[in-house]
Amino acid sequence: MNHSGVDNQRPRAEHPYRHGWLQSRQGTLGSSYPGGCQSEAALGISEGPEQVWRHISAHAVLYYPVADLDYQSLHLVGHLVDVFLLADWRYDDSEFDKIVDTFLRPDGTTGKPSRYRREPGELSFLVPVAEVFKVTTACTGFGLFNEPAWLPAKQPWCRITRLTRQVGELQRRTWFVYIVGNCVEIYQRLFIDQGTAPSFLWLQCPLGANPDSWAAFTSGSGDLGRAFTRATPQPRYVVAHHHQPGWQHTVPYRRFKAWHPAFDLAIYARPQLHVRC
């Protein structure tokens, strides 16, 4: 199986992280890896959405702040998590089905169908507003965009739906969570306050954001960077265009090629973990 846009065609000598890459390709990560291939029972897929919301930090989570509607990269590591938690501030609750449909549509580059689908009759769960406000307040964007006037803040909300991921004959259930609010508060209250961290922290620069502002926001001294660089449980991996000062994740483990090198993404791990990833 070959992912579009993934840098997996380099000669062996040019691929310094080939060992971990082969583990992923061969499915040898196993259940010892949080978010690796585990049974549905182990992942708590039999739970309902209410239980997922209450115990989300116990799952293998990919947290994607300021996700907008850009989800194609999530397909690259979807086999390693059982919850996609996406945060933004620009959408209304009524747009959730559009958000999910965008995630499920065929790949715009290759035309290949999505590996994910929502079962017929599968409904979304709207988290009670009072519960959402315990996690986040409204947000105006942290000054990341040059033109904030067309990016108004929305009242916080959160919806959860269950998806099925299919690769060949293998099917696996996954939870898709979209929350609107302050992505730093969300990270603080869902993870740090619970003494845990997501398996993946996906820090792709949002479309339309000022790159310098995004780099400052995610650096060790920035609003979001401070949240995961202090003495708290660390994400297993951080995915970003470039390493930022202050991150504990200094080892580039794998790179995803884009149409231009400036948009390449890399997975970064902490030094003591990169061999096992």
- H runs (alpha helix) in 105-252: 129-133, 183-190, 211-218, 225-229
Q: For 26-60, what is each residue's pLDDT tens digit?
A: 333 333 334 344 444 444 446 789 999 999 989 99
25 within some domain? no
The structure's pTM equals 0.80
Residue 183 CB partners (closer than 8 Å, separation 6+): 65, 66, 87, 88, 89, 139, 224
Domain that holds residue 194: 39-253+265-269
209 within some domain? yes
- Asked whether 177 and 160 are in contact (CB, 8 A), the reply is yes
**What is the mean pLDDT of the segment spanning 4-26?**
38
Residue with tokens 């989570």, as numbered in its chain: 61
For residue 149, the model assigns a pLDDT of 53
For residue 193, the model assigns a pLDDT of 92
For residue 237, the model assigns a pLDDT of 94
Domain count, the chain: 1
117 vs 23, 45, 64, 105, CA distance in Å?
26, 16, 20, 9
260 within some domain? no
Q: What is the DSSP letter of 218?
A: H
**What is the mean pLDDT of the segment spanning 191-211?**
92
8 within some domain? no
Residue 5 has pLDDT above 80, yes or no: no
232 within some domain? yes
**What is the mean pLDDT of the segment spanning 222-249?**
89
- Asked whether 233 and 197 are in contact (CB, 8 A), the reply is yes
For all residues of the chain together, what is the average pLDDT?
78
**What is the mean pLDDT of the segment spanning 229-237?**
87
258 within some domain? no
Q: For 80-120, what is each residue's pLDDT tens digit?
A: 899 999 999 888 888 898 888 888 887 655 667 778 888 88
16 within some domain? no
**What is the mean pLDDT of the segment spanning 168-181?**
88
How many CA atoms lie less than 13 Å away from 140 in the CB half-sphere? Answer: 5
130 within some domain? yes
Residue 186 has pLDDT above 80, yes or no: yes
Q: Phi first, then psi: what are they for 163, rounded to 5°?
A: -120, 160
For residue 177, the model assigns a pLDDT of 95
